Structure 1
Amino acid sequence: MMFMGRKNIYDKDWRYSALYQIVDWCIRGSYRKVEVAGEENIPSQGAQIACPNHCNTLMDALVMLRGYKRLTVFGARADIFHKPLFAKLLTFIRILPMVRQRDGIRNVLQNNKTQEVIVDTLENDVRFCLFPEGTHRTRHSLQVLGKGAMRIALAANEKFGDRKPVYLLPVGLEYGDYFRYRSTSLLTYGKPINVTQFLRENSFESEPQAIEALRKALSSEMTKVITYIPSDDNYEGKWALVRMCAIDGRCRGYGDRFTRLSESMARNRAIAQSIEEKLSEEPEKMTQIIGRGASFECNRRKAGVSIYSFRKNNLVLSSIFKTLAVLIGLPYFIFSAIASLPMWAVETKIRKGAKDPAFGNTVSFAIKLAVGLILFLIYTPLAFCLAPWWLALALMLLWIPSYSFLHDYLEGCRRWISDIKLLFNRQLRDEFQSIVRDFKQL
């Protein structure tokens, strides 16, 4: 089997290496803040099967790619490989097709050939990454895991487990916002599951039993590296309550400059666990508070108020400061809007036509990568032909971050307007304080 001129999918390729540098820069530019935690949990030896939660479409894979500097081969659902040209592109960027059970038993048999490639990849000390949930869902929760990662682990262990251990590596992906570009991303490595040792210490009568045991173990470890909220009818109210309690007390919020994202996630996890504990102890009272949290969330969104506005000590001073920031940044915003017009115009059109809003950040990333590269190739010779070299250089240096600044400025304006709205909405402020107070007193 050939992979775009490579004998093996993991073989070195200068074209891939060159593209990787550009993609890596664009991934970093897609987030205001990026953090990787738990790197000490990455096994120093052995075969790694990374298993992250899937909550933000293609951005999950991109964040995973950036969070591990060594080579990684990915698995993706097979239906996106149907178009030959797109299939070649995916293979070039080291992605293999994975058929799901829902695609039919006959199609699932195609996984045998793919599995051989994956096992060979692992045997050659190249990490393989698979999203065991199968499909993305924009929730701080976890879906039922598929069996693919476990089957691969068993196959790899059978082939070379006597020479080196096989690991299932749980990974948690958290975002400041699933839908807004230039938010924050946190990647957390959890405690690895040594599959070789697991099978040695436990006896199973059949492969399905071993798969089920590994699936439960992996699911348990994955819930420890995300803000886990059970996906039930009360999910929206619980998540609203988590955010409210995390913001209350004027503590720094998720993504603040001087707060580590891992610290913010740990605080969110603690609040989520507290909600579940109180729900089991006082089900009636907690159900009522959760319902009020969901109602508050609806009222907040209708009022156009950001949750981050509720942590301000003084909304008047905050509004004045942000007004000054908006005025100072306005000239560069105008330049950015003009210079990156082709980028944000295309982005806006595609985002509006997208059926799933979760793909919005993927669209923005793709625009930054593709359209941004084209504009760079056009703007650079034009600038140096039409202006003195020092002016052309200055213009290009101003243009490079313009697309990111445009999004940051608009987000800043949104929060500025939000602060002003909340300043004149006493009812919403009182509702927030009442819910948080009742939860803490319970």
Structure 2
Amino acid sequence: MIYAFLKLWVKWVIRIFFRKINIKGIENVSRDKALLIASNHPNGFVEPITMACLFPRPLHFLVRGDVFEKPGARYWMEKTNQIPIFRFKDGFENLRKNNKSIEISLKKLQEGESILIFVEGGTKAQKRLRPLQKGLSRIAFQVLEKDESLKLDILPVGLNYFDNRKFRSESILSVGEPMSANTYYEKYKNDVNGGIRTLTTDITAEIKKNVIHLDDLKDTDLLNNLLLLRKAMQNHSAIPIVKIEQLSLLADKAIADEINVRNEEEKKDWLAKSKSIIDQYGYKSLVNRYHSRNSLFMNTLLILVFALPAFVGLMINAIPFFGGRLIANVTAKKSIFFMSIWLTGFTIFSIVFYIIALIICCVIVGWFGFLILLGVPLFSMSMIWLDRWNEFQSQLSLGKKEHNATVDIKDLFKELNLKL
């Protein structure tokens, strides 16, 4: 019940925090088969929140066990389908608790449930797939040891972010084709370590197909520059925010793949040329340029017409929204967790806020108090209005240079033999 309610509410929340979420391969998610979901982990706990909302079936999660030790946390963690896994640094006594967690996981899979595991073993904001841990492969084979007749699939998933530190940015959720764990079981029975190693290697290859991957992190600035310039040339409507679309990932991956095969001199030249364009036209102007379908006149008209309802939506939600941000500012020890804490804080504060506000309003004005719930769609309107405002500023900033920006970006991508 709690999981279902939170899933519904957070579907709204992620549409507040992201300007666009492109989804590829969601049809690969089986609705009734035992699934081990193998995902990368580049953005704190935004990944489990996003997948829980967008996957067409309930998910269970293996998460850091130390979180369960905090006062009052265990109840809510269990109610939201989270299973604790302790690490070596949590101490031997806690490591012994993993036996129970593994038993719970095995039971869930035998019942045909799905379990999400972040197979990199930790979270880092990198545009690459880091080396995988072997825990998922071990769990898969342990399940099959208990029940060889069970049909168990492993689902490779990649989450990619344009800028995981930026509010109203873009993300891509890519779901690969399922892998049958059963086909690896014979090798495992003959050679335990070899079977685990082979399965882990193949999972790595399948996840990498769904991840924007750089071989060398020194090329991150170059990749970010080219992704920005490509996106500055795209035209997308403001809605729907969540969209089934595969071209974004394919185009972004193609850029990363091309960078991976170029020599240092070529990459140095690309970096200088892309940086020159960004410096000339302005990073902020280019970031806010994409998603533009409207003329300057139309944007001006939309901003004026929807300014009042957007302002009302912001005022209604100001306390939970900025309260969540304040908590993130105070508690996020690492920048990678800032957006996660802000999103989670806003989720909790907004639920509490609307419950209290609904009670107070209904006491004061009766059934008309339910009108306070209009704050939910109005806040969504506020975010779309904010996008239009930023786009409007970009159009003013670029002015007559907008055509020149288009020509320069097209020329650069043509020179680099990259598709926009």
Q: TM-score, normalised by structure 2?
A: 0.84
The one-letter code matched in structure 2 to 1:276 is: N
Contact 1:57 1:358 in 2 (8 A): yes
Name the CA distance, whole Å, in 2 between partners of 1:41 and 1:253. 25
Name the CA distance, whole Å, in 1 between partners of 2:325 and 2:280. 25
Q: Could you list the per-position Cα deviations for residues 377-411 of structure 1 after superposition, in whole angstroms to 9, with x for gaps in the alignment?
A: 23334434544856x55x42532223333333334
Q: Could you list the per-position Cα deviations for residues 298-356 of structure 1 after superposition, in whole angstroms to 9, with x for gaps in the alignment?
A: x379753233527879xxx8433323322222212332232223123313423433333
1:172 corresponds, among 158, 169, 188, to 158
Name the CA distance, whole Å, in 1 between partners of 2:167 and 2:39. 21
Deviation at 1:255, TM superposition (A): 7.4
* Between 328-337 and 119-128, the greater mean CA deviation after superposition: 328-337
Q: Which residue of 2 aligns with 1:422?
A: 398
- Corresponding pairs, count: 416
Name the CA distance, whole Å, in 2 between partners of 1:295 and 1:109. 56
Name the CA distance, whole Å, in 2 between partners of 1:76 and 1:17. 19
Name the CA distance, whole Å, in 2 between partners of 1:291 and 1:204. 54
Deviation at 1:81, TM superposition (A): 2.3
Q: Does 1:228 align with 2:213?
A: yes
Name the CA distance, whole Å, in 1 between partners of 2:172 and 2:345. 22
Q: Which residue of 2 aligns with 1:334?
A: 311
Q: Which residue of 2 aligns with 1:343?
A: 320
Aligned to 1:225, the other structure's residue is in SS state coil
Q: 1:147 to 1:65 in 2, by over 3 A?
A: same
Q: TM-score, normalised by structure 1?
A: 0.80
Q: Does 1:51 align with 2:35?
A: no
Q: Which residue of 2 aligns with 1:288?
A: 269
Q: How does 1:185-200 map to 2 (within 5 A)?
A: 185-200=171-186
The one-letter code matched in structure 1 to 2:308 is: P
Name the CA distance, whole Å, in 2 between partners of 1:300 and 1:352. 32
The one-letter code matched in structure 1 to 2:257 is: Q
Cα RMSD after superposing both structures: 3.5
Q: Which residue of 2 aligns with 1:212?
A: 197
Q: Which residue of 1 aligns with 2:382?
A: 406
Q: 1:301 to 1:104 in 2, by over 3 A?
A: farther
Q: Which residue of 1 aligns with 2:349?
A: 371
Contact 1:340 1:402 in 2 (8 A): no
Deviation at 1:113, TM superposition (A): 2.9
Name the CA distance, whole Å, in 1 between partners of 2:266 and 2:307. 48
1:276 corresponds, among 260, 263, 266, to 260
Q: Which runs of 5+ in 1 are unaligned?
A: 1-13
Contact 2:37 2:154 in 1 (8 A): yes
* Between 189-198 and 368-377, the greater mean CA deviation after superposition: 368-377
Contact 1:16 1:92 in 2 (8 A): yes
Q: Does 1:304 align with 2:304?
A: no
2:249 corresponds, among 265, 272, 275, to 265
Contact 1:246 1:253 in 2 (8 A): no
Q: How does 1:142-181 map to 2 (within 5 A)?
A: 142-161=129-148, 163-175=149-161, 177-181=163-167
Deviation at 1:245, TM superposition (A): 3.6
Q: 1:103 to 1:237 in 2, by over 3 A?
A: farther
Residue identity over aligned pairs, in percent, reads 21
Q: Which residue of 2 aligns with 1:78?
A: 65
Name the CA distance, whole Å, in 1 between partners of 2:247 and 2:6. 33
Deviation at 1:51, TM superposition (A): 0.9
Q: Which runs of 5+ in 2 are unaligned?
A: none
Q: 1:288 to 1:57 in 2, by over 3 A?
A: same
